[in-house]
Structure 1
Amino acid sequence: MLNKTALSAAITAALSFSVFADQNIEHITVTANKFEQPLESALAAISVISRSDIEKSNVQDVVSLLDNVAGIQAVRNGGFGQSVSLFLRGNDAKHTLVLVDGVRVTDANSGDNSLTNIPLNSIERIEIIRGAKAAIYGSDAIAGVINIISREGNHNTITLTSGSHNYSDIEATASYKKDKFTLSANAGYSHTDGYDVIEKDPQVIVGKNHDRDGYYNGNAGLTLQYGDEQSGIFSLRSQYSEGEGEYDAWGSDAYRFHNYTNKLAWKRSSEKLSQHVSYSLGKEQNVQIGSSADDNAYVTKRGQFEYQSQYHISEALSLTGNITFLNEDVGESTATFSESERDNLSVAFGGFYNDENWLAEVVLRTDDYDFHGRANTYTLALGKQVTDGLSVKFNHGSAFRAPSLSQTFVIDSPYYLPNANLSPEEAKNSEIIVTYSDERFRIEAAVYDNRITDKIVYEPNSDWKYVPFNIERADFEGVDLVVEVEDSFGVEHTLNASYVSAKDAKTQQQLQRRARRTLTYTISKTWQDVDATLTLVHRGERNDKVWGAQGSYTVTLPSYTVFNLAANYTFFDRFKLTGRIENLTDKRYFNATAGEAKDGSLLGYKPPGRQAYVGVSYRF
């Protein structure tokens, strides 16, 4: 059952802002259904982070940016470049589909994503779509979709930043436009010496893990467009990043990554018909170093062809069709697989209706994965404009996640055994979204229920090797609240509050590392050439499992609240000074446990503490 007191308090606080507001909320266009539409006509709960939001916040990585979004909890195992578990509505990280320009960026070996290594300077905007979206996007879109759109800069800029733990960053963008041709480019390099990310047992002798855990990331991107409405627009988007991150572990203590996405596309729109065709190539390579003479490599290569069309029957009604062919290949990995490559062919059809009073959406999709069989998914949604500014939306849909190639076909792992009989995980999601907006403010509340069946979990066999099975079920119920207000003094208020019950259906216990209550409250103000933002981040109690001398046991980690401050000052028209202080009060806490000391006390993954960053940017 939802916590009524916490929800009531959040709504009361949100409504109390409205009496001061007098500005319009910015009109936003999204591509949640793979075609452009106004945010208010989308029948899903969507958050959008724009380029201006990124630059105003002065955060240094994608994870910090996403952690402020309603429904998202990012649990770090340390600082920059460290492993991150991103829980959307309490779901496992593997149940959120991550895209860069529509290209999947998850590891087909494990199903993990590499959000922590996506450079911020390469991003134009991020769309976070909450709820089951497999009928639109296919496998993995159980909890939602994070769609990252690469940089489309209209200016030439160079930015230098320095900060705590010997952090340094240089970024540059360039743009050129003439007639039908547009070019945008971005490049960046960041480095930090880091800090020792795991608390150490004072009774243990100093070893290789008693050191700083540094990180660097070098990246470059290019976007080319040519054409017009009559002939269509051809585009090429390419992003590349490489780097290295250090961490503390029994074996390997560092990893190297080389990632890229390339997408060639053509789109054309007329009064009746819109078409989009694309071919993309992507690669995710992660090499674990330091464990042996032969470093372990995890490599995923993907090729995808997609055709999407939208036909407008009338001003209110349109039909869409989509066909996608996806190939995934892990053959360059160190591990050996009985099957190292698989294909998926999907076909989807949809209908969308919008007559200003009623919204409706029906989408049907079928995926045919090699070795796993066919998965059929759907989305049904209905919305009503009750009064001016007030709308109620309902959507219900199904979703699935195909097993990873490691789970089904790896044959030489020292820790895992495959199960070729695995079935896809399946889910059903229902939610009601109530939105009210006027000249004064915007408020959105989404109540949802998401149930996953045939959940894949690992069980040890008699030789203590872990084997995956479809044996679990998990239930997720919760509410997300988003409030945006600008008061009569020009101060902008943003409240993102969530409550989630994420339970193992068998034990009825809250899943590990998920806080039931989260809240982020941001206030920002602009004075001519200066803007400042103060953010409060609160995370409630979480459970975590500890491995100690007597085996494993569960502990409750206490709640915590931190404050972050960002400011920007523009001078001489083209220069801008930037600054950010994270964890103003130097709050001591940790999100996750890392083990047990010899005296029985907990050891945790340490947050970096108070950090300061200053920079300068020049636009020309």
Structure 2
Amino acid sequence: MKIKYIYFSLICMNGLVMQAQVDSLSQKIEETNLEELVITSQIEPQSLKKSINNVRLITKEDIQNLGAVNLGDVLNQYINITVTPDSSTGSSKVSMFGLDSRYFKILIDNVPLVSENGFGNSTDLSQINLNDVERIEIIEGAMGVTHGANAVSGILNIITKKSADHKWEIQLTSQEETIGKEFSFFDKGRHIQALKVNHNINENWFASLTFNRNDSRGFLGGQEGKYHEFNDTKRGYTFLPKEQLQGSALVNYSRENLRVFYRFEFLDEDLDYYNPTVQSGYNENLGAYKYGLDKRYFVNRLYHHLNATGKLFNQVNFNVSLSYQQQKREQESFNYNITHDLETSNVKKKQKSTDVLYSTGTFSNFFDSKTFNLQLGYELLGTSGFSIVDELSVDPKDIEKKLNNYDVFAVTDINLNEKFSFRPGFRYSFQSKFKNQYSYTLGGRYLMDKGFEARAALGQSYRTPDFDELYSRLIFDGHYFIGNEDLLPEKSNSIEVSLKKTTLFLNGNKTSVLSNHFMISRNDIKDRITSAIVGFDGSTPMYKNINISKYESYNFSSTNQFAVDNWKFNLGASLTMVSQVVDNAGFSSDDKFFNNFNLNSSVSYSVAKWNTTFSAYYKFIGKAQQWVIGDNEYVISETDSYNNLDASVRKSFWNNKFEATIGSRNIFNVTTLNRSRMNEGGGHDVEPSLNLFSGRSYFVKLMYNFNFN
């Protein structure tokens, strides 16, 4: 572990100690357009350099080089972010700084995306395809003022494409991918087809249509699949088969001082579960047969977003969105006759759903001043949640509740001079279920000589309990877990300090850029929600969600980028120290800090005369520790570290009309991770392993672009 700390320190020093350079290069840096505009959490679009927040960009080129199909394929490779797939549900969730997906908010065009358990949070990354994504912007840290509840560890904003370079752009995509070593064109592997049509109707109107099919045939991984007839627990799949159909439509109207767009999206997902327990049956017509009690899950999502941006009175900038979204999950249970390939006793019912009516708006540029810019905003949210909960000796019960909040916020950019700016902000939220909440922030940016940029921010955010934490009930023989309608929102206080150095090297007509960024942050959460023992029902312990635990984290991270000629290099590292005092009302853990080290690196090389790009992305995820409940105390569970390496070659043909990408994911062939547990005697017991990936996979992606005016 000492080697990791030494290596991490060297990376941090590299972010601060630069090679000697001529002072005149500072002016060159100012004059050279090196950075893209960012819009997330900005009063007006700004360059990365002028942004008060630390914004991280994932470009369209990165998405293409990775051969990424969904958001999980991309985020696997980024520092401070951990993506964890769930083989039992087929979902993938994100965590940051030791905080799970309930604390991280995902948006599309600045509007949070609905999920079965919330709005913007607990999002399944595998359900977000990247067919019409222009770029992705990520901001780490508390964003409660501009983005409301649950933006505690950070936000991710997906910016979709709203223009085209040609009158007509038609793109056809086909991708074939192995799942581990398993592949065939119909029964095994991953099969993706996509269609995208963009059309500039005239100088004011633009329209776009996309359709995507992602057919994952599941990963056997030692199991025997659907038709296995022996009761040896080998029936079924390690990762379940799943098929997704997704489509979107966008209409955009723009003219001077006004832009209006409407975007519609749908998702249909089918997930198949084959029970590993095989049973025997008899029918007078069919005779003896084998069957399984199988299930099928259906997920449907509808997304509507109407947005208008422009100017009022030729001065005041406005940006207003209205959105209706719905996501629901249904379960179909049936008896599957394996011997005769028949389904009987099919019963389909809704399990969960979330319906959201949402509007947000901002108004800025009230004053004709380069020094002072005030932004006023609002957020209106009406949520209807539905879930089926189980109770002892009774039929499952339907729970349907409404949660609303009405927020107002204000943010001010104060530019004292060209170098120094700061931003105070405040939000107040009127809550229908909880006590009214508030958030505040104060951020600052100072541009120094020779390319140095210093930033600092502090603030308070909050997380409101989700539907399951409030209303879930799971009660059957030996199990008693219930939610709590009286839960309080969690409070988060954070502080962040960063230093960035951009160095420009000039060699004749060639320019190379070195960027080094070092950041320190702290987050402290009070009233954290934990499932705690509140009594006993006979010999069965009764667990209930209560506000009892504490959380504290420190994060040290460094990202370093270098671009020269046709080469692009990236090296990043982070050390996160987390203390979680977990209390179950019977006994609690101590405040010991757990350390988690991450390292990522990428390299790409473009050969212009071949129209070819070679790329490789590497990530190391260190050992993870957490408290788990033992017989009479909390004990430490440790999950092994692992390495992840993806590589690809992307080549264009025929004047960029045809593009082929071949590559491999998970080259180190990671499948499962061991989890050990320190018992009360000081030894280590091995717990069941964690199914993380299906192993090394290979993909071929073919894309045809048909453009004309």
> TM-score w.r.t. structure 1 length?
0.89
Paired residue for 1:451?
Answer: 524
Q: Cα 1:480–1:339, aligned 2, differ >3 Å: closer, same or farther?
A: same
Match of 1:261 in 2: 303
Change (3 A) 1:367 1:591: farther
Read off the aligned partner of 1:449 and give its amino acid letter. Answer: R
3-state SS of paired residue (1:330): strand
Q: CA RMSD in A?
A: 3.5
Tell me how far apart the structure 1 counterparts of residues 605 and 440 of structure 2 sit (CA, whole Å): 43
Q: For 2:20 and 2:388, how far apart are their aligned partners in 1?
A: 58
Q: In 1, Cα distance between the equivalents of 2:529 and 2:73?
A: 29
Whether contact under 8 Å (1:105, 1:114) holds in the other structure is no
Instruction: Specify whether residues 387 and 252 from structure 1 end up closer, same or farther in structure 2 by C-alpha distance, changes over 3 A only.
Output: farther
Please report how far the alpha carbon of residue 248 of structure 1 lies from its aligned counterpart in structure 2 after TM superposition: 8.2
Shift of 1:543: 2.6
Quote the residue 1:159 is aligned against: 173
Q: Structure 1, residues 63-115: CA drift from partner, whole Å, max 9, x if none?
A: 12112222211122349x72334111222221111222333235464662222
5+ residue gaps, structure 2: 180-188, 225-229, 277-292, 335-345, 390-395, 505-512, 582-588, 678-684
Aligned position for 1:475 = 552
1: distance between equivalents of 2:17 and 2:297?
A: 48
Distance 2:530 2:56 in 1: 31
Partner of 2:615: 533
Distance 1:246 1:544 in 2: 32
Match of 1:187 in 2: 211
Is the alpha carbon distance of 1:149 and 1:295 closer, same or farther for their aligned partners in structure 2, counting shifts above 3 Å?
same
Task: Establish whether residue 234 from structure 1 lines up as the match of residue 260 from structure 2.
Answer: yes
1:611 matches 2:697? yes
Residue 375 of structure 1 is aligned with which of 437, 445, 466? 437
Kept in 2: contact 1:68–1:496 (CA 8 A): no
**Highest CA radius of gyration, 1 or 2?**
2
Is 1:492 aligned to 2:518, yes or no?
A: no
What secondary structure is seen at the aligned counterpart in 1 of 2:704? strand
3-state DSSP class of the match of 2:73?
Answer: helix
Q: Call closer, same or farther: CA 1:504–1:289 in 2, change over 3 Å.
A: farther
Q: What's 1:175 paired with? A: 198
Aligned-partner Cα distance in 1 for 2:20–2:649: 27
Q: Distance in 1 between matches of 2:209 and 2:503?
A: 38
Alignment pair present for 1:282 and 2:282 = no
Partner secondary structure for residue 193 of structure 2: strand
Structure 2 residue 565 is matched with structure 1 residue 564: no
Offset of 1:61 from its aligned partner?
A: 2.3
1:74 paired to 2:92: no
1:342/1:78 CA distance change after superposition, 3 Å: closer
In structure 2, the residue matched to 1:307 is 361
Q: Could you tell which deviates more after superposition, 283-292 or 453-462?
A: 283-292
| CA apart distance, 1:418 | 3.2
In 1: Cα distance, 2:522 partner to 2:231 partner: 46
For 1:115, the equivalent position in structure 2 comes to 125
The one-letter amino acid of 2:324's match is L
- Contact 1:197-1:606 within 8 A present in 2 as well: no
Q: Given the alignment of the two structures, is residue 57 of structure 1 paired with residue 111 of structure 2, yes or no? A: no
SS in 2 for 1:438: strand
**CA deviation digits over 1:272-311, x for unaligned, max 9?**
3101122101112223444994545110011112221012
Relative to structure 1, is the Cα distance of residues 408 and 549 closer, same or farther in structure 2, using a 3 angstrom cutoff? closer
Q: 1:117 to 1:10 in 2, by over 3 A?
A: same
Using the TM superposition, give the Cα deviation of residue 46 of structure 1 relative to its aligned residue in structure 2, in angstroms: 1.7
Query: Structure 1 residue 209: deviation in Å?
Result: 4.1
Q: Which residue of 2 aligns with 1:145?
A: 155
- Could you list the runs of 5+ residues in structure 1 that have no partner in the other structure? none
Q: Distance between the aligned counterparts of 1:496 and 1:447, measured in 2?
A: 14
Q: 1:130 to 1:38 in 2, by over 3 A?
A: same
Relative distance call for 1:518 and 1:288 in structure 2 (3 A) is farther
TM-superposed deviation, 1:395? 0.3
Contact 1:475 / 1:504 at 8 angstroms: preserved in 2? yes
Contact 1:99–1:147 (8 Å) recurs in 2: yes
Aligned to 2:598: 518
In 2, distance between residues paired with 1:321 and 1:160? 45
User: Counterparts of 1:201-220 in structure 2 under 5 Å?
Assistant: 205-210=232-237, 213-220=240-247
Answer whether contact 2:675 2:688 (CA < 8 A) is retained. Answer: no
Question: Residue 613 of structure 2 contacts residue 651 of structure 2 at CA under 8 Å; is this kept in 1?
Answer: yes
Single out whichever of 138-147 and 154-163 deviates more from structure 2: 154-163
Residue 54 of structure 2: aligned partner: 45
Correspondences of 1:581-592 after superposition (within 5 Å): 581-590=664-673
Whether contact under 8 Å (2:675, 2:686) holds in the other structure is no
Shift of 1:456: 0.7
What residue identity is the alignment partner of 1:360? F
Counterparts in 2 of 1:337-376, with a 5 A limit?
Answer: 340-354=401-415, 355-376=417-438
Between the aligned partners of 2:275 and 2:463, the Cα distance in structure 1 is 29
State the alpha-carbon separation in 2 of the partners of residues 608 and 357 from structure 1. Answer: 50
* Alpha-carbon spacing, 1:205–1:90, altered in 2? closer, same or farther (3 Å): same
Taking a change above 3 Å as real, the CA distance of residues 247 and 610 of structure 1, as seen in their structure-2 partners, is farther
Tell me how far 1:411 sits from its aligned partner.
Answer: 6.6
SS at 2:436's partner residue? strand
CA distance in structure 2 between the partners assigned to 1:614 and 1:6 by the alignment: 36
Q: How many residues align?
A: 608
Contact kept in structure 2, 1:59 and 1:580, CA below 8 Å? no
- Partners of 1:196 and 1:615 lie apart in 2 by 24
Q: Which residues in structure 2 correspond to 1:79-94 (within 5 Å)? A: 82-94=90-102
Which one of 570, 578, 582 corresponds to residue 502 of structure 1?
Answer: 578
1:532–1:568 Cα contact (<8 Å) kept? yes
Change (3 A) 1:7 1:449: same
Does 1:319 pair with 2:374?
yes
Please tell me whether the aligned partners of residues 538 and 559 of structure 1 are also in contact (alpha carbons under 8 angstroms). yes
Counting aligned pairs with the same residue, the percent is 17
* Conserved? CA contact 1:18–1:441, under 8 Å: no
Question: Given the superposition, is the C-alpha separation of residues 332 and 550 from structure 1 closer, same or farther in structure 2, using an over 3 Å criterion?
Answer: closer
Matches within 5 A, 1:1-16: 4-11=5-12
Moved more, 393-402 or 583-592: 583-592
